[in-house]
Amino acid sequence: MTPRFVEVRRDVLKQNDITARELRARFRATGISVISLVSSPGSGKTAFLERTLAELQPRYGVAALVGDLATENDALRLRRSGALVKQIVTGTVCHLDAAMIRCALEGWLPEQLDFLFIENVGNLVCPSSFDLGEDLRLVLLSVTEGEDKPLKYPTIFNTADVAVITKIDLAEAADFDRALCERNIQSVRPGMRILGVSSKRGAGFDEWMAMLASLPRELKSP
Amino acid sequence: MHELSIALSIVEMAEEEAAARQARIRAVHLKLGRLSGVVKDALLASYDMAAAGTALEGSRLVIEEVPIVGYCAKCQARRGVDGVQWFLCPRCGSPISEILEGKELQVRALEIAE
């Protein structure tokens, strides 16, 4: 009995990809720009988001979902901006997935919104495999983490759209070599956009706000 | 670690194909890119678990790993890329402008018992 080969050529879609695709279609239909943030714990995702929400809040409808293993601390912090914020407590799960986003949005997402931010669990490994239906994925790294972080965690940089170097007000104290860090980022993801910011002092936020303002237009263009 | 859910998707797809052809499947041949984010060994370990109790029980998963190939705009040529840390043209050193191969996660063929 000789085996017979039949050609199939079918892409294996992960269940998460299917859910993410549905989410993306829904976001596009309602005109919301969705931005996710990933980084290691302590890189300053929440501080960055705090300032972002506060600066956007007067002019735009903004909301945020924040993921953590435990506590509502981040949601409480972010709510002070006046934005609509919901905490996703993952228990022991090390990342957010598309189903968690869908579940969190159930009966919560208002009709009129310009921006939805999703702060992932602090982790540079697992979130890289999970599409959340976002339009833009930011990977943050702070000046105290070492210039070679992109080389150590290439996959997350490779799946992200923009690299944000945070805490640049501490660059000198940390002896941070920005040119080297940017070279490493470009090496793992050629052509990646890079922002340098201080969430505390506000440096770099003009450029970030301009990038956000042009986002809906970019998403609408084919 | 999401290999088990991927193994389940592969088994599900193969079951559909098997039912459509009214055939028994002996092996599933898969193309797996190095940039797919899926670990070969973990996927192989998950496959037997996923196939247990289905029409695919006892079948093999055969994985063909696909290396990363990029396009160098400067050389205007396809170039193999070593590792995932240096997306640079091995010939001229300029950044790779596009990834052409290496993201595959595709069921290529089925080995059917007649």
Q: A117 Cβ partners below 8 Å, 6+ apart?
A: A34, A35, A36, A37, A49, A52, A53, A62, A63, A64, A65
Q: What is the CATH number of the domain that holds A140?
A: 3.40.50.300
A90 domain-assigned: yes
Q: Which residues of B touch A190 (CB under 8 A)?
A: 87-88, 95-97
pLDDT tens readout for residues A31-43: 999 999 999 999 9
Q: Is the pLDDT assigned to residue B97 strictly greater than 80?
A: yes
Is A92 at the interface with chain B, CB within 8 A?
Answer: no
At A218, the pLDDT band (50, 70, 90 cuts) reads confident
> In chain B, what are the domain boundaries?
3-67+102-113
Torsion of Cα atoms, A15 then A20 then A22 then A26, to 10°: 160
Q: Are strands A115-119 and A193-196 parallel, antiparallel or unpaired?
A: unpaired
Of chain A, the percentage scoring pLDDT greater than 70 comes to 97
At A1, the pLDDT band (50, 70, 90 cuts) reads low
Average pLDDT rounded to a whole number, residues A141-152:
96
If phi > 0 it is left, if psi is from -120 to 50 it is alpha, else beta; for residue A61 that is: beta
pLDDT tens readout for residues A58-110: 899 999 999 998 988 999 999 998 899 999 998 888 889 999 999 999 999 87
Is A93 at the interface with chain B, CB within 8 A?
Answer: no
CA–CA gap between residue B64 and residue B39 (Å, rounded):
12
A3 domain-assigned: no
Residue among B17, B84, B114 whose CB faces A8 most closely: B17
- In the three-class reduction of DSSP (H, G, I as helix; E, B as strand; rest coil), residue A186 is classed as helix
Q: Which residues of A touch B9 (CB under 8 A)?
A: 12-15
A74 domain-assigned: yes
A150 domain-assigned: yes
A9 domain-assigned: no
**DSSP code per residue over A38-88:** E-STTSSHHHHHHHHHHHHTTTS-EEEEEEESS-SHHHHHHHTTT-EEEEE
- Per-residue pLDDT, A220: 59
- In the three-class reduction of DSSP (H, G, I as helix; E, B as strand; rest coil), residue A194 is classed as strand
**Residues of the domain holding A91:** 15-214
- Per-residue pLDDT, B1: 60
Total count of domains within chain A: 1
CA–CA gap between residue A118 and residue A108 (Å, rounded):
14
- Per-residue pLDDT, A222: 46
A4 domain-assigned: no
A55 domain-assigned: yes
- Per-residue pLDDT, A12: 87
E strand segments, A168-209: 193-196
* C-alpha closest to that of A166 among A62, A72, A10, A42: A42
Chain B: residue whose CA lies nearest to A9: B108
Q: In three state form, how does the secondary structure of chain B look?
A: CCHHHHHHHHHHHHHHHHHHHCCEEEEEEEEEECCCCCCHHHHHHHHHHHHCCCCCCCCEEEEEEECEEEEECCCCEEEEECCCCCCECCCCCCECCEEEECCCEEEEEEEEEC
Q: Which residues of A touch B87 (CB under 8 A)?
A: 187-190
If phi > 0 it is left, if psi is from -120 to 50 it is alpha, else beta; for residue B57 that is: beta
Extract the tokens encoding B30.
């898969």
CB B91 within 8 A of CB B79: yes
CB B32 within 8 A of CB B66: yes
Is there a contact between A5 and B112 if contact means CB atoms under 8 Å apart? yes
Helix (H) or strand (E) holding A28: helix A15-30
**ipTM (interface predicted TM):** 0.83
Q: A62 Cβ partners below 8 Å, 6+ apart?
A: A53, A56, A83, A84, A113, A114, A115, A116, A117
Q: B93 Cβ partners below 8 Å, 6+ apart?
A: none
Q: Min CA distance, B1 vs chain A (Å)?
A: 8
Extract the tokens encoding A152.
């150590």
CA–CA gap between residue A162 and residue A153 (Å, rounded):
15
Is B92 at the interface with chain A, CB within 8 A?
Answer: no
Extract the tokens encoding B109.
């063929």
- Per-residue pLDDT, A146: 93
CA–CA gap between residue A12 and residue B17 (Å, rounded):
13
Is there a contact between B30 and A16 if contact means CB atoms under 8 Å apart? no
Is there a contact between A6 and B109 if contact means CB atoms under 8 Å apart? yes
Is A187 at the interface with chain B, CB within 8 A?
Answer: yes
Residue among A5, A130, A154 whose CB faces B111 most closely: A5
Find residue A132's DSSP bridge partners: none
- Per-residue pLDDT, B83: 76
Is A6 at the interface with chain B, CB within 8 A?
Answer: yes
Is A155 at the interface with chain B, CB within 8 A?
Answer: yes
Chain A: residue whose CA lies nearest to B21: A6
At B36, the pLDDT band (50, 70, 90 cuts) reads confident
Average pLDDT rounded to a whole number, residues B25-47:
93
Q: Min CA distance, A168 vs chain B (Å)?
A: 24
At A27, the pLDDT band (50, 70, 90 cuts) reads very high
- Record: fold of B3-67+102-113: hypothetical protein PF0899 fold (3.30.2320)
Is there a contact between A12 and B27 if contact means CB atoms under 8 Å apart? no
Residue among A1, A6, A14 whose CB faces B6 most closely: A14
pLDDT tens readout for residues A182-215: 999 999 999 999 999 999 999 999 999 999 999 8
CB A121 within 8 A of CB A127: yes
- Location of structure tokens 């192989």: B44
Q: Which residues of B touch A129 (CB under 8 A)?
A: 2, 37
Is B108 at the interface with chain A, CB within 8 A?
Answer: yes
